[in-house]
Amino acid sequence: MTALVVAVTGLVAAWTLPALLAAARWPLRYPRAAMLAWMLVLPATYGTVIAAALSLVLHLPPIAAALHAWLPGHTDALLRSYAHLGGRPLDAVVGGVAASVVTGAVLAVVISARRSAADRRRYLADLGLVARPVGLPGVLVVDVPQPAAYAVPGRPGAVVLTSAARDALDAAELTAVLAHERTHLRARHARLLGVAATFARAGWLPGARDSHRSLRLLAELHADDAAARSTSPLVVAGALLKLGRAATPEAGIGIGAVGMVARVERLLERTVPHRRPLAPVAMVGAVTGLVAMLTIQLAVLAAPIATAAYDAATCDLDCRSGSEPW
């Protein structure tokens, strides 16, 4: 029963929580906590569904035999605690599907991360042919008439500034843009966004697209906050307007016009006192709730094994001579 309850809870949560989190307003004020919340949502929902499905493999003879050798005398009770889908073939199929989903997801993330890393290395090498360092650590200027600024992650990464952007921005705005891009690099936003982008390719899954879209905006908000701390919210807003006005329309990786407007409006609101007194409560509630959900789901799943292991460790020799058919 246990696994079934966990799986159903996880599925219901997967259909509801991402939409709730995507619609919430508190993430605008606490982008880092919201990024943490998104990182918790997927394990707490899909993660626990898959863990529950994986628990079916405990019924398969080789694994059950291994369990019996490890926890003599307690295996029958242990296996009774886990759902048994009415036959070993079905257990094997569901457990096998879950295992291949996990393997496939890990492989997809690793492969796409490798490909991105190779693309970035090649890009940085090409950049080295035309860009010049300008005395600021990690900053490269490229002579291009179009104003633009971006971060290329890597080891080390680089902040790229076109000569037109450098000319368009005043000193404070330049400081803000560099602080923004360096925050992307330091916080390794690209890594998180890469995982989210990979997951978003399974766009038919509830929450897959929401998580990617939200994380892209949240990464920008986090970097905007760092830039605002190093200068002021109005300076960052001014730099966004200057570069947003000049940006090329085709958008591949950015957050689009809607995100830009949200970012500028948020920075402008910064100068007035907080108008959302409940935002801290909502933030703490959401993060705590997600941590609790993940913990409880995993604890419920692991409880029978933990109990059996504890019993086996504490019982005396008598109870191991029980009559299990193994």
Taking CB under 8 A as the criterion, the residue among 140, 208, 286, 294 binding another protein is: 140
- Tell me whether residue 56 or residue 158 sits nearer to another protein (CB atom): 158
The distance of closest approach from Cβ of residue 119 to another protein in the complex, given in angstroms and rounded to an integer, is 5
Site for another protein in 231-270 (CB under 8 A): 231-232, 234-235, 237-241, 243-245, 247-257, 259-261, 264-265, 268
Choose among 238, 234, 199: nearest CA to 216: 199
Choose among 296, 254, 231: nearest CA to 45: 296
The distance of closest approach from Cβ of residue 202 to another protein in the complex, given in angstroms and rounded to an integer, is 14
CB 233 within 8 A of CB 268: yes
Taking CB under 8 A as the criterion, the residue among 29, 59, 74, 189 binding another protein is: 189
- Tell me whether residue 211 or residue 297 sits nearer to another protein (CB atom): 211
| Four-CA torsion 42, 47, 48, 51, nearest 10 degrees | 180
* Dihedral (CA of 107, 112, 117, 118) sign: positive
The distance of closest approach from Cβ of residue 98 to another protein in the complex, given in angstroms and rounded to an integer, is 25
Taking CB under 8 A as the criterion, the residue among 40, 83, 219, 308 binding another protein is: 219
- Residue 179 within binding range of another protein, rule CB under 8 A: no
- Residue 104 within binding range of another protein, rule CB under 8 A: no
Count of positions on this chain that bind another protein (CB under 8 A): 74
- Tell me whether residue 84 or residue 120 sits nearer to another protein (CB atom): 120
CA dist., res. 235 & res. 232, Å (int): 5
- Tell me whether residue 51 or residue 149 sits nearer to another protein (CB atom): 149
The distance of closest approach from Cβ of residue 284 to another protein in the complex, given in angstroms and rounded to an integer, is 29
- Tell me whether residue 241 or residue 287 sits nearer to another protein (CB atom): 241
Site for another protein in 193-212 (CB under 8 A): 193-194, 197-198
- Residue 120 within binding range of another protein, rule CB under 8 A: yes
The distance of closest approach from Cβ of residue 275 to another protein in the complex, given in angstroms and rounded to an integer, is 15
Site for another protein in 147-166 (CB under 8 A): 148-153, 156, 158, 160, 162
- Residue 116 within binding range of another protein, rule CB under 8 A: yes
In angstroms, what CA-CA distances link 13 with 41, 124, 292?
9, 42, 13
Give 285's contacts (C-beta < 8 A, 6+ positions apart).
Answer: none
CA dist., res. 35 & res. 282, Å (int): 14
Q: For 229, how many CA atoms within 13 A lie in the half-sphere containing its CB?
A: 9
Question: At 152, is the secondary structure helix, strand, or coil?
Answer: strand
* Dihedral (CA of 228, 265, 29, 38) sign: negative
Choose among 129, 131, 148, 151: nearest CA to 140: 131
- Tell me whether residue 170 or residue 324 sits nearer to another protein (CB atom): 170
